[in-house]
Amino acid sequence: MAQDGNSGTDIAAADSSSTGHGTEHAVGTAVVARDAVQNPGFPPHRARVTDLDPKKEKNAERTVYTLFYLSIVGSVLAIAAYMAFPIIPEDIGSVRMNNLMIGLGLALALLAIGIGAVHWGKALMHDQEGIDMRHPVRGSEDTRARAVEIFDEANRESGFGRRSLIRNSLIGALIAFPLPAIVLFRGLAPENENPVDLLKHTMWEAGDKLARDPSGLPIKASDVTIGSVFHVIPEKLASVGHSEGYLEEKAKAIVLLMRLKPEDLVEDEDKKDWSYDGIVAYSKVCTHVGCPVALYEQQTHHLLCPCHQSQFDVTNHCAVIFGPAARPLPQLPIAIDDEGYLIAQSDFREPVGPSFWERH
């Protein structure tokens, strides 16, 4: 016999008699306390009111089916709301009303099912506590041998292993089956335009003025003080208005503009003229999975993507210094025009957004 140094409890190596399961333990690896707390068992069973009073039971039953009927009403309301409050293009109020009414209907439907099911379980279903003993996860040798036997039998009867032509053609068919979906997805892309090209290019063109988002006011270099940051769109995008395609174009062309001390910038030789007097412009679309990178840390000149914490070094062409993004944020080459407004020299020289576009 030994003594547990921490508790002073008497302990001894477990044997088959102490566990009661006939399990063999290596001496010294399993111990049981001699005065271990006995299993107190279940507390005395307390009958529910619905078990004692038939009237209460009836009430509970009524509540449950009322909730389920309420759920049906919620579902019907959601369908009716979809028809009664249609989305009218360019009417944001109609979108809100449509979402609100459908949401309320669905919320009622789901909530009523949930509450009804819980109430049913707690108040009416059989109230009996039972013990389900744990058992070893591994099957017995007999069970395992039988499983192998069944597997072999199925293999023999189906000829899966023997008829290699059938087996291989089936594997081929299963691989080919999802391919139509890929082709059908292609149909979702705009007609007569290459979707890859659409995603590779943004609406920035040489001479486009950089403008504030969302007002569309052009920005002069003198407006951008050291340490400031601007959210920028092409000026011509603001004039397009909220028509079809506005959001798609904005999602690709959105830019962050910052001004640093020119001596803080470490620029590659071939990109030295992409900035103007310490003002640099970078795509705001994270190269990981496309979240907006909008957190600028002025002191360290780091940009942080809030989605998965990728960090980019603005002093060094937005190189990735932390996180899952695989490439720097693309830089928009900028200059100024005769009036001192900031303009783009061209589109981005590489695709914006998630890195997988680099494969094309």
Q: Which is nearer to ligand FES, 284 or 301 (CB)?
A: 284
Q: How far is the CB of 260 from ligand FES (least distance, A)?
A: 22
Q: Which is nearer to ligand FES, 122 or 308 (CB)?
A: 308
**Pair of tokens at residue 110:** 């789901």
Q: Is 225 exposed, middle or buried (0-12, 13-18, 19+ CB in 10 A)?
A: exposed
Q: How far is the CB of 311 from ligand FES (least distance, A)?
A: 9
Sites for ligand FES among residues 273-332 (CB under 6 A): 286, 288-289, 291, 305, 307-308, 310, 323-325
Q: Which is nearer to ligand FES, 154 or 295 (CB)?
A: 295
Q: How far is the CB of 312 from ligand FES (least distance, A)?
A: 9
Q: Which is nearer to ligand FES, 216 or 292 (CB)?
A: 292
d(CA 184, CA 180): 6
Is beta strand 31-33 parallel, antiparallel or unpaired with respect to 10-13?
antiparallel
Sites for ligand FES among residues 47-86 (CB under 6 A): none
Beta-carbon-side half-sphere exposure of residue 228 (alpha carbons within 13 Å)? 12
Q: How far is the CB of 313 from ligand FES (least distance, A)?
A: 15
* Number of residues lying near ligand FES (CB under 6 A): 11
Place of tokens 């044997």: 15
d(CA 167, CA 172): 9
Among 141, 131, 136, 138, smallest CA distance to 19 is for 136
d(CA 31, CA 25): 9
Q: Which is nearer to ligand FES, 224 or 325 (CB)?
A: 325
Q: Which residues make up the interface to ligand FES (CB under 6 A)? A: 286, 288-289, 291, 305, 307-308, 310, 323-325
